[in-house]
Structure 1
Amino acid sequence: MRAVVVGGGKVGYYLVKALIEKKHNVTLIEKNSTTCKKIAEELNVDVICGDGSDVEVLKDANIEEADVVAAVTGKDEENLVICQMAKVNFNINETIARINNPKNTAIFKALGVDKTVCSTQVICNLIEGEFNSEPLQVIESINSGEMVLVEAKIDKKSAWIGKSVEQLKLPKECLIISIVRCEKVIFPRGNEDIIEGDKVLIIINTNRKKDVEKSIIGG
């Protein structure tokens, strides 16, 4: 997966670092030349020194080849402009913007930004989740990583299809908190059946994640 990250501050730095560790192809755009030099020396990443809201700079970063663009500068207005340019000028399917003021969330959504987040790890998980084939996507870490909130996307191959919640063989350290079905949230009882297309949100101990994955794929 190829990602373009705009903004080389702390959020951008650790986001790029995390994506590189996951073997993704990343290009970073940052205005400050000193920051660019420092990141280029520390990380194995292509760094473009320039304004991420400049069309020519985006072209230099080969944005046309990107699967996702993440705008994580310290200014909400810049992140909005960058995401809109990625959509309008380069037809990027997936844009993610860092938001510093939560009050701007509705505005960003209304103006076409696909996802808005305020956490480096959440941004990374969103990007990762768009392009991996694992049955569980980690949404957020809880209690210093001891537990995780995960999303199970139920496709036609899932062993959970047609089973009720109470029939699922899950670890006791696991709690199904909701099912998203056709944009509606269901708070399931034991007799609620799982169907194809459901997104099941689960809280589980990190060390039991593999057990839940095996249950989903029928292992």
Structure 2
Amino acid sequence: MRVVIMGCGRVGAALAGAVEGLGHEVAVIDKERQAFRRLGADFRGEQVVGTGFDRDVLIEAGIEHADAFAAVSSGDNSNIISARVARESFEVSRVVARIYDHKRAVVYQRLGIPTVATVPWTTERLLRALVPDSAADAWREPSGRVAVLPLTVHEAWIGHPVTRLELTTGCRVAFLLRFGDGLLPNSETVLQADDLVYVAAHSEAVAEVTAIAAQPPEEAS
């Protein structure tokens, strides 16, 4: 497998070393020659000076035979342009771009470019380290705005419809695990004992949703 990496900062250098360590061919592109010092003396891959969206530079790095391309420079615009050139002009099958502005990540996802939104990704890892509970144990889409997480509900919710839980917490019940089988709930689904509930919620509301579900439902007036 041949991998081309655009950007030889700390992330790019570490990624290049890891990919090479797995036995793959690696070419690294950076506009500053001194950046390649981060690769270390043991690096055997190619080092190409230039910008990652320059066709000639990409060709020199072997993009025409590449199986994967990663754009991990410090600039969002450079990363997404390079990623699009690799995908659209050279038809590289696996392309990913690092994005600092998580709001842009949604747009780029729609263009078919997988992205890693740095700030939400880092925040999620820090949250997992600081708060090792179910609220932190969530999957987030690339922009970091929506989370899917297992939800612990108070035992008093048993026998109540899923729709009431959604209305009370403001989240969506994505699916249930019932006796080991996945279940997509509908308007008639009622929570049963030992159900594992997975919900989709706005990331900023995860703590609130978790707190509400941990309390018994209010009595209907």
Give the alignment's TM-score, normalised by structure 1: 0.56
1:83 maps to 83
**Residue type at the aligned position of 1:190:** R
2:191 maps to none
2:178 aligned counterpart, secondary structure:
coil
Q: Which has the larger radius of gyration?
A: 2
1:158-208, CA deviations, whole angstroms, 9 ceiling, x for partnerless residues? Answer: xxxxxxxxxxxxxxxxxx959xxxxxx9433233536xxxxxx9xxxxxxx
Unpaired runs of 5+ residues, structure 1, are 123-139, 152-175, 179-184, 195-200, 202-219
Number of equivalences: 147
**Counterpart Cα distance in 2 of 1:92 and 1:177:** 36
Matched, 1:187 2:175: yes
**Counterpart Cα distance in 2 of 1:82 and 1:40:** 25
Q: How does 1:5-24 map to 2 (within 5 A)?
A: 5-24=5-24
Shift of 1:46: 1.4
CA contact (8 A) 1:177 1:188 kept: no
**Counterpart Cα distance in 1 of 2:56 and 2:40:** 21
**Counterpart Cα distance in 1 of 2:32 and 2:150:** 44
| Identity across matched positions, percent | 29
Shift of 1:92: 1.1
**Residue type at the aligned position of 2:181:** D
Q: How does 1:42-121 map to 2 (within 5 A)?
A: 42-113=42-113, 115-118=114-117
**Counterpart Cα distance in 2 of 1:50 and 1:61:** 10
**Counterpart Cα distance in 2 of 1:45 and 1:7:** 14
1:133-171, CA deviations, whole angstroms, 9 ceiling, x for partnerless residues? Answer: xxxxxxx89649x9xx8x9xxxxxxxxxxxxxxxxxxxx
Give the RMSD, CA atoms, in angstroms.
3.5
1:2 maps to 2
Q: Greater shift after overlay, 65-74 or 41-50?
A: 41-50
**Counterpart Cα distance in 2 of 1:105 and 1:38:** 28
**Counterpart Cα distance in 1 of 2:111 and 2:34:** 33
1:98 aligned counterpart, secondary structure:
strand
1:17 aligned counterpart, secondary structure:
helix
1:208 maps to none
**Counterpart Cα distance in 1 of 2:65 and 2:82:** 16
CA contact (8 A) 2:9 2:38 kept: no
Give the alignment's TM-score, normalised by structure 2: 0.55
CA contact (8 A) 1:177 1:187 kept: no
1:46-105, CA deviations, whole angstroms, 9 ceiling, x for partnerless residues? Answer: 111111110000001111111111000100000110011011210112210001111111
**Counterpart Cα distance in 1 of 2:117 and 2:44:** 25
**Residue type at the aligned position of 2:88:** V
Unpaired runs of 5+ residues, structure 2, are 140-148, 152-172, 183-197, 199-221
**Counterpart Cα distance in 1 of 2:82 and 2:56:** 12
**Counterpart Cα distance in 1 of 2:52 and 2:14:** 18
CA contact (8 A) 1:69 1:83 kept: yes
**Residue type at the aligned position of 2:116:** V
CA contact (8 A) 1:4 1:61 kept: yes
